[in-house]
Amino acid sequence: MSVALIILAAGKGTRMNSDMPKVLHPIAGAPMLVHAMNAGQALDLSHTVVIAGHGAEAVTKAALDHDEDATVVLQTEQLGTGHAVMQARDALAGFDGKAIVLFGDTPFMQNETLQAMLDAPADVVVLGFEPEDTARYGRLVMDGTSLERIVEHKDATEAERAITLCNGGVTCCPAPLMFELLDKIGNDNASGEYYLTDLVGLACAAGHSATVVTCSEAETLGVNSRAQLAAADALFQTGARAQLMEDGVTLVAPETVYLSLDTIIGRDTIVEPNVVFGPGVTIESGATIRAFSHLEGCHVARGGIIGPYARLRPGAELSEHVRVGNFVEIKNAQIAEGAKVNHLSYIGDATIGEKTNIGAGTITCNYDGVMKHHTDIGDNVFIGSNTMLIAPVTIGDGAMTGSGSVITSDVEPDALALARAPQVEKPGMARKLFEMLKAKKARLSRSS
């Protein structure tokens, strides 16, 4: 069965108090919109249609960056959820499969729930749940297993407000039927809007069947404020950490580890406290990520040891058994098997060969103010402490640089490169200089 996702992402999100469209606020390093788009990734999707409005240009970019085959259409007026779904009509012209309507600010929908809605034996299927507090939710009015209608909270009678089964918002229906029924929706309600929820009553009146598939309250969690955004992120983190530990990863202090939506960590890896995984990180099995390290856009192979206090930036590619120590930053660099960068160094736009040792304080000087340049360091190289490598430069296999050197030219294999000024010693000069400075300080004190 072919499926279309219609994701409503046009709202401004006034309670967020932000210039950014609400659906682009991140949870676990990814916009809420991306979480919603991922909800249907295991289905037989033929179309993904995102309804944009406020901040449409930014929403379009985020949607297409995540799925270049998605279609983004514009809702120029905010006239309600039914009106928003109608904007997808042209994008789904000729499509006769089922359409599922999701919300771009509801990030925790599960594939299994959506599949259950597709499999339910009814023309219209609505997602329901039973919240702890029903106060602000629409109610699902049932007759046995059949759904008769949905009543918005503000339009509900006291008897209807006593119903505990509430509307989760997600709706599934054959696309042609959905648009046929939407054409009949009016706006005679407390908000003067075209409600998608009226679809159910219209379907039943026309002799079509409707039912409900239920899920947990957490799955329907919507985000409308910064506080709810933080709560949603915390909920994601709790679940993601538990899943990692279930999969064989050791988190020494789970509550202090921050994960992204796409973080991948292999079994038998140890993650120490206060580690942040930004987007695009893959850690293979048996690695150790030590405390207070920050990783994004990088790959650490089997047996790597990172940190403490290390930073791996996008393009850092570390082979097996690489060691990156305290206060080391690596960006857009490939580090071969067994190499070590253990202390206080910056390695950017570089290639480092097997079993090479990078001494403390080494810097690849990769930027000239306009262009980035590459440093190529071979196998079994020893880079002395406090070496400045002025890119572009190549250090041959087995070479060595003396501590404190400023290397501006290529170094041949097996050569020792020394590039520092000779030490000059002037007897007694330190004592004379201190005396001169103390006298100057005394004169300044008297004059003030």
The 10s digit of each residue's pLDDT in 232-267 is 999 999 999 999 999 999 999 999 999 999 999 999
Three-state SS sequence of 139-189: EEEEECCEEEEEECHHHCCHHHHCCCCEEEEEEEEEHHHHHHHHCCCCCCC
- What pLDDT, on the 0 to 100 scale, is given for residue 425? 93
- What pLDDT, on the 0 to 100 scale, is given for residue 318? 98
In angstroms, how far is CA 425 from the centroid of its own chain? 56
Structure tokens at 248: 């064989």
Task: Please choose, from the candidates 26, 2, 23, 3, the residue with its C-alpha nearest in 3D space to the C-alpha of residue 12.
Answer: 23
- What pLDDT, on the 0 to 100 scale, is given for residue 78? 86
pLDDT profile of the chain (448 residues), mean per 10: 93 90 97 95 92 96 96 93 95 96 95 96 96 89 93 88 94 97 86 87 95 95 94 97 98 98 98 98 98 98 98 98 98 98 97 98 96 97 98 98 97 96 91 93 88
CATH of domain 226-417: 2.160.10.10
- What residues does each domain of the chain span? 3-220, 226-417
C-alpha span between 147 and 163 (Å, rounded): 13
What does the angle CA 157 – CA 160 – CA 162 come to, to the nearest 5 degrees? 115
Amino acid making up residue 316: A
C-alpha span between 339 and 322 (Å, rounded): 5
Task: Please choose, from the candidates 300, 307, 311, the residue with its C-alpha nearest in 3D space to the C-alpha of residue 324.
Answer: 307
C-alpha span between 416 and 261 (Å, rounded): 47
- What pLDDT, on the 0 to 100 scale, is given for residue 152? 84
Candidate list 66, 294, 343, 373, residue with the active-site label: 343
C-alpha span between 297 and 178 (Å, rounded): 41
Does residue 47 have an active-site annotation? no
C-alpha span between 103 and 105 (Å, rounded): 5
- What pLDDT, on the 0 to 100 scale, is given for residue 233? 97
Task: Please choose, from the candidates 106, 86, 110, the residue with its C-alpha nearest in 3D space to the C-alpha of residue 196.
Answer: 86
- What pLDDT, on the 0 to 100 scale, is given for residue 155? 83
- The secondary structure of residue 259, as a DSSP letter, is -
Q: Say if domain 3-220 classifies as CATH 3.90.550.10.
A: yes
- What pLDDT, on the 0 to 100 scale, is given for residue 193? 85
- What pLDDT, on the 0 to 100 scale, is given for residue 116? 97
Q: Does 308 sit behind a cis peptide bond, omega within 30 degrees of 0 on the bond before it?
A: yes
C-alpha span between 357 and 340 (Å, rounded): 5
Task: Please choose, from the candidates 148, 248, 141, the residue with its C-alpha nearest in 3D space to the C-alpha of residue 200.
Answer: 148
- What pLDDT, on the 0 to 100 scale, is given for residue 153? 86
Q: pTM to 2 decimals?
A: 0.89
C-alpha span between 381 and 433 (Å, rounded): 42
C-alpha span between 406 and 267 (Å, rounded): 42
Q: Does 392 sit behind a cis peptide bond, omega within 30 degrees of 0 on the bond before it?
A: yes
